[in-house]
Amino acid sequence: MNGHESPLDILPDWCVRHRVGVHAAIKAVDIAGRGNGWIISGKEALSNASDNTALLHIPREVILSAEYVVDYASGNDRFRRLLEGLPKFQSEPRLLILLFLLSQLVHHRLPEQVNESKEGQHEPWRQYISVQPSDVPVPTMWSDVEVSLLKGTSLEFTLAAKLVLLAKEFELITVRAQETGFWQEMLSEKRVSLRDWIWLDALFRSRSFELPLSGPSMVPCVDLANHSHENAAYFEQDIETGTVTMLLRNDKFSTMSVGDEVTISYGRDKPAAEMLFNYGFIDVSQPPFGGQRLVLSLDDISLWEDWARKDPFLTVKRELFSDAPMLCLDMDHAGAARWTCPFAYIVCVQQEDGFGFERMEDGHGTGRCTMSWQGKDISRMAGMLDLWLNTREELRNVIQGRVVAILLCVVTHQLKRLRYNGEVQVAVEEAEERGRASVLRSVKQLREVELAILERSLRAIVAEKEKLLQDGVDVKTIYWH
């Protein structure tokens, strides 16, 4: 490829070689401000179109799924030896796909004379990976200056945890590679790096689909379609053949002109944080509160340190709760707030309420935690404790008061962190000089959405507190307050 060619220039030949059908009326191009995408290039080619015209046909043989990778490993000794030493990767579709992409990236970068001479040399993804954008605008690929803008948002700790996870995953690969000559050589020569692994993960999150037959998958060509709720097209998978087809909506054809973009929907009512984290943008066309959700990790709330000193069973309770402890704040389309926080109920029940907590040791340094209610082991139902409390209204009101007090602390704490302060303002000023306008715009949108959710949620929680006070529950003096 010379300096004047675009990665998309290889696409027509690639599609012919791998039997990918592309309708004559569309073309993949670089769209200003949106990256690669599909546009209507000749409407006359659709003049005789019937309902839901097929724009793309992608055969199952080039759809990258866990099944695809397992089949590839069965015929590729190098890759199979690497995979055999990574048991965790074998059972997780995402890790299987990323490891395969990493191997294809290695081969794509190798000189032709060093690469495999026959078997697998022309794997479709080895060439298709060059079509992928080098810069995916998701937070895991932001600069340090841009990342600092997330301070106080729900993505601050989510992003930090994700980067730690990616580093651990790549470390596992490098350790395993030391046992295989080819991969040890590739990594020692820095054919690939942690940055590549982060990039591949960004590609997977922003370009994968959940298919009914193939599960989590990356679908060539369909992955070039950008998002819009006013989507002109949609895709489906044939259950019998596994073929994926992208279809033009019949009601959209009459309103489209040459040059118009053919988009699909990445999903409706997705939270702003999820859109930004996985796709690198926030859909401003959604209603202000439609389906918005703010998820706060209670593992990252500093208040627990104080509470742990007052509750000797807090560690046991955390082990009992198998899921990550989260507070979910939801807004409906009318802007009304509601919340869910199963872990808060476990935190608030005590032995004097009739609950028992115990850690059972097995003599080998391990054991399990148990929770009982009136002598019955309910450990397996720890996440549904609020339902158990419905059978005891007088106890439920007391526990509900404790939960409300906790939520008031958590939401108030997060509000203080999110609101602009000197530290955040410095980060904004630095990003304005060194960052990208699109990132600044997205972070501003995220902060506005999360601030609105927190403020409305706080009002709803205060209203619940007032109702409990009217019912005789002394929220001010309950446990820990």
pLDDT digit string, tens, across residues 78-89: 899 999 999 999
Per DSSP, 323 falls in state S
Burial of 82 by CB count in 10 Å (0-12 exposed, 13-18 middle, 19+ buried)? Answer: buried
Q: Which residues contact 320 (CB under 8 A, 6 or more apart)?
A: 346, 357, 369, 370, 371, 379, 382
From CA 254, how far away is CA 264, in angstroms rounded?
A: 17
pLDDT at 119: 44
pLDDT at 286: 62
Q: Which helix (H) or strand (E) holds 307?
A: helix 303-310
What is the sign of the dihedral through the CA atoms of 429, 33, 94 and 130?
Answer: negative
Q: 287-477 has which fold? A: set domain protein methyltransferase, domain 2 (3.90.1420)
pLDDT at 302: 60
The pair of three-digit structure tokens given for residue 235, joined into one six-digit string: 């895709």
The pair of three-digit structure tokens given for residue 150, joined into one six-digit string: 């997330």
Q: Is residue 221 within 8 Å of residue 56, measured between CB atoms?
A: yes
Instruction: Determine the 3-state secondary structure of 122 from DSSP.
Output: coil
From CA 184, how far away is CA 197, in angstroms rounded?
A: 16
**Full-prediction pTM beyond 0.95?**
no
* Residues of the chain scoring pLDDT < 50: 1-4, 113, 117-121, 477-481
Instruction: Determine the 3-state secondary structure of 176 from DSSP.
Output: helix
Q: Is residue 76 within 8 Å of residue 104, measured between CB atoms?
A: no
The pair of three-digit structure tokens given for residue 343, joined into one six-digit string: 């872990």
pLDDT at 350: 85
Alpha helices in 110-236 (DSSP H): 124-128, 144-147, 155-177, 181-188, 194-207
- What residue ranges do the domains of the chain occupy? 7-62+219-262, 66-215, 287-477
What is the sign of the dihedral through the CA atoms of 130, 134, 136 and 140?
Answer: positive
From CA 242, how far away is CA 221, in angstroms rounded?
A: 16
User: Residue 368: what are its φ and ψ, rounded to 5°?
Assistant: -140, 155
Alpha helices in 323-421 (DSSP H): 342-348, 385-389, 393-418
Q: Over the range 161-192, which residues count as b (16 or more CB within 10 Å of their CB) and which as e?
A: ebbeebeebbeebbebbeebebbeebbeeebb
CA distances from 473 to 347, 461, 479 (A): 18, 15, 12
Which residue carries 């509160």 as its tokens? 289
Per DSSP, 138 falls in state S
Q: Position 154: which residue type?
A: S
